[in-house]
Structure 1
Amino acid sequence: MKRNSLRFKVALFFSALSIALLLAQALGVRALAEAQEEKLIAALIRDDMASVLKSYEANPALLPPFDVRINGYVSGAERRAIVLPQTAAGLPAGTHEIIIDGREIHIAIAPLGPAVQNQRLYRIYDFNIYEKHFKEVVNALMAGTGVFALLTIWLSFGLSGLLVRQVAGLARQVKTLRPGESAPIHPGKYDEAELIGLVEAFNDHHRRMADMIAREKAFTGNVSHELRTPLTTIKTSCELLEQDAAIVGKSRARLQQIERAADNMRELANALLTLAREESARDVEPVAVANLIDAALTPFADCLAQKGLVARVEVERELQVVANRSALAIVLSNLIDNAVRHTDHGRLQFRYADGWLHIEDTGPGIPARDLPHVFDRFYQAEAPRASTTGAGIGLAIVKKMCDRYGWAIEIGSEPGQGTRVSLSLPPAR
């Protein structure tokens, strides 16, 4: 899942807040300017009408031409002649705005005194030029707001970079930390109290991780010695007893079971030790897949023969993949063990196609409800016979190995038709 950086979030917050404030300010200034414009126009018209009415009442000879269509005198404050529509006669006294030839025109209507036979005066005002200039100023204000908004975004990203610089530096230092190899982070490099607390928490976690890894290395070393020594003794004793011709029948079969159990325990110990060694993920080499499969099948030869299972390795002998040999051997061993343990008849087939190694068996299959959990540690699907049950750790180890080395693994199964395990192993180039 893609996540945004702290810098982006801080910049986005400051940008959104600043742009909202700039926009609110611009809209407020525009609304205030428009209100002031209307008040100014109303005051100009009021003063002009008072002066004109006073002059006409003092000297009726100054009255403008009479328009019979609207039954009143028509006077223009502008030199440009404007013809009023006949509907203007129905307008009440006062100031009105009408549209004439696509222009907004103000009309002031006022009754004349008794000296002019109580007629009405229609005085026309055209403020379009002033309103046009006003709109240009307002548009310039809005454009300036847009420029400031862009500048705000740029400044927000710059300032957010300064704010989160130390957080980014801390992240880089944390990435370079290696338990037992790197020195703790020095809190004196940071100014903010919150970051210093975070540094101390990281250092504490780093110390605990180093102690845990030291204990784990000591434990794996002890396991390597304490387990392998008795297992080697058991294995050697089994090999010596196999040379004794007096051991026959069931005794020899039990001896072989002990030897196989010792081999399995040794493989399990190797798997656990490999998982515990982080540096093993870098130890890779070209590996012949077919030869490794043959080697992994060898310990199961007797079991395959007893059950009458046929192992088919349909993999080209020259095919090589780049992998950790021990890890891949452990994965194959566990997958083969799982397949052999649950298959009583039929075959065990190995195929390689399009970068995937497919291991198929003709066992009873895995119920659909159990498929999502087959890689869970200690999980055991229901088995038709108690003898086929395991410890529930083999496939969990396989999944850990695959995750460690980046191998995709998939399991497909249908009850009664067998199981197919697919392992992604791109060929070496």
Structure 2
Amino acid sequence: MRNSLRFKVALFFSVLTIALLLAQALGVRALAEAQEEKLIAALIRDDMASVLKSYEANPSLLPPFDVRMNGYVSGADQRAITLPATVGNLPAGTREIIIDGREIHVAIASLGAAGRYQRLYRVYDFNIYEKHFKEVVNALMAGTGLFALLTIWLSFGLSGLLVRQVAGLARQVKTLRLGESAPIQPGKYDETELAGLVEAFNDYHRRMAEMMAREKAFTGNVSHELRTPLTTIKTSCELLDQDAAIVGKSRARLQQIERAADTMRELADALLTLAREDSARDVEPVAMASMIETALLPFADRLAQKGLDAAVDVDREIWVMANRSALAIVLSNLVDNAVRHTERGRVQFRYADGWLHIEDTGVGIPAHALARVFDRFYQAGAPRTATPGVGIGLSIVNKICERYGWGVEMDSEAGKGTRVSIRLEVVNRRGPGS
């Protein structure tokens, strides 16, 4: 699933900005916590220096001696805190302990010449200060979240401004595709890259228009040059058909020439139709069995010469939705391919579950060549054993099936035969008038 350019730009800026905001908030929080610890350590150090100096100068100021702690215990505030006995075993210095769920700092120092026998325990409670500090940090993180939401909104707004000209270019290109012939004006776009893209597209559009004009002229010329000799052949056949002196094999040959002329005319019409962009809409209900029988007529002599049976196991009431000329080309190429590669046996047509199957008992196709049989000019046979042909019949079949949305599949086994299957939509089983 594709996302719009605006969405991608907004997502990129949002993620980048939120990541930077989050990194900044976490960095500020870590720095603030470190500074907090340094501030508490400095306060305790200065207070202890002042207390020890005053106690040594005037021992009467010493707090009561605590036998359980084997030292003097004093508090930095008025609240009395009972220290656990384990604190008495700690060395001198500042420690953090948890009492009644609160974090308490205890500074331990020695007094006078008595050394370790006269210790001072100074208790500090910074919980109120730390609580306010956490509230400030939480407010900072909440503010970061609000800025993140604001960033997302701003990113979508700014991305819309950034890609608005790209969207405008897409609309103009669509207008050109729908038939607008005027080139896009690059002066409407401020960005250098977009102006360059417009110029490149205009050049491409101009060359495509010239190529299509040449192709239309070519197809028109081909149509005229093909129809003129075919009309002459058809007219000559009609005149000769009125000659009573032409009988037997000569009349049969004359009829073959007339059918070949009709087939060539239909082929030219179909190929010119395929050259038109809207040809995929030229479809109608056609009788499947009748189309197959018509496609087999030009190959009657070759089938008889090889002794091949042509079996049409298709219900005459089956009608399919197709372009008549295009389907005739497909069937003609498949019949020609089957007859050319089959020396004995049969060529069978059958319709089942929406698929028309054309099966033969010919030489088959090697497994390594099966994937390339629809490639243009590709021939599966070796050069010495290849049958006549230039390798474009199956390519034409594949192109026509792609144009009209007909599925085409091929199964084959060397030495046993080939089956080509075409997916055709059934209109009904009684014809268009039922």
Task: Answer whether TM exceeds 0.5 for this pair.
Answer: yes
Change in Cα spacing, 1:9 to 1:265, as seen in structure 2 (3 Å) is: same
- 1:67 and 2:75 aligned: no
Change in Cα spacing, 1:240 to 1:31, as seen in structure 2 (3 Å) is: same
Change in Cα spacing, 1:148 to 1:292, as seen in structure 2 (3 Å) is: farther
Cα displacement (A) at 1:33: 1.0
Change in Cα spacing, 1:417 to 1:135, as seen in structure 2 (3 Å) is: farther
Change in Cα spacing, 1:290 to 1:384, as seen in structure 2 (3 Å) is: farther
Cα displacement (A) at 1:39: 1.8
Match of 1:336 in 2: 335
SS in 1 for 2:87: helix
Q: 1:47-126 residue pairs with structure 2 within 5 A?
A: 47-114=46-113, 119-126=118-125
Contact 1:380 1:389 in 2 (8 A): no
Contact 1:309 1:348 in 2 (8 A): yes
Cα displacement (A) at 1:137: 2.7
Contact 2:110 2:116 in 1 (8 A): no
Contact 1:57 1:116 in 2 (8 A): no
Looking at structure 1, the residues matched to 381 and 256 of structure 2 have their Cα atoms a distance apart, in angstroms, of 25
Match of 1:207 in 2: 206
Match of 1:294 in 2: 293
SS in 2 for 1:388: coil
One-letter amino acid matched to 2:26: L
One-letter amino acid matched to 1:185: I
SS in 2 for 1:337: helix
Contact 2:379 2:386 in 1 (8 A): no
Contact 1:348 1:361 in 2 (8 A): yes
- 1:184 and 2:183 aligned: yes
Which 5+ residue runs of structure 1 have no aligned equivalent?
none
Match of 2:432 in 1: none
Match of 1:171 in 2: 170
Q: 1:151-162 residue pairs with structure 2 within 5 A?
A: 151-162=150-161
Looking at structure 1, the residues matched to 37 and 212 of structure 2 have their Cα atoms a distance apart, in angstroms, of 79
Q: Which moved more, 1:214-223 or 1:66-75?
A: 66-75
- 1:322 and 2:313 aligned: no
Q: Which moved more, 1:239-248 or 1:404-413?
A: 239-248
Looking at structure 2, the residues matched to 28 and 352 of structure 1 have their Cα atoms a distance apart, in angstroms, of 74
Change in Cα spacing, 1:392 to 1:61, as seen in structure 2 (3 Å) is: same
One-letter amino acid matched to 2:426: P
* Length-normalised TM-score, structure 2: 0.86
Calculate percent identity across the aligned residue pairs. Answer: 81
Change in Cα spacing, 1:104 to 1:147, as seen in structure 2 (3 Å) is: same
Contact 2:17 2:148 in 1 (8 A): yes
Q: Which moved more, 1:9-18 or 1:100-109?
A: 100-109
Match of 1:306 in 2: 305
Q: 1:2-13 residue pairs with structure 2 within 5 A?
A: 2-13=1-12
SS in 2 for 1:369: helix
Change in Cα spacing, 1:259 to 1:103, as seen in structure 2 (3 Å) is: farther
Contact 1:321 1:425 in 2 (8 A): yes
Change in Cα spacing, 1:55 to 1:94, as seen in structure 2 (3 Å) is: same
Looking at structure 1, the residues matched to 279 and 158 of structure 2 have their Cα atoms a distance apart, in angstroms, of 44
Match of 1:220 in 2: 219
Q: How many residues align?
A: 427
Provide, for residues 100-135 of structure 1, a one-character-per-residue CA deviation record: whole Å limited to 9, x for no partner. 455432111122234999622111222233323322
Looking at structure 2, the residues matched to 395 and 328 of structure 1 have their Cα atoms a distance apart, in angstroms, of 13
Cα RMSD after superposing both structures: 3.1
Contact 1:312 1:350 in 2 (8 A): yes
Provide, for residues 222-263 of structure 1, a one-character-per-residue CA deviation record: whole Å limited to 9, x for no partner. 1111123223434555676677867877x8898788667656
Change in Cα spacing, 1:163 to 1:116, as seen in structure 2 (3 Å) is: same
Q: Which moved more, 1:259-268 or 1:299-308?
A: 259-268
Contact 1:7 1:160 in 2 (8 A): yes
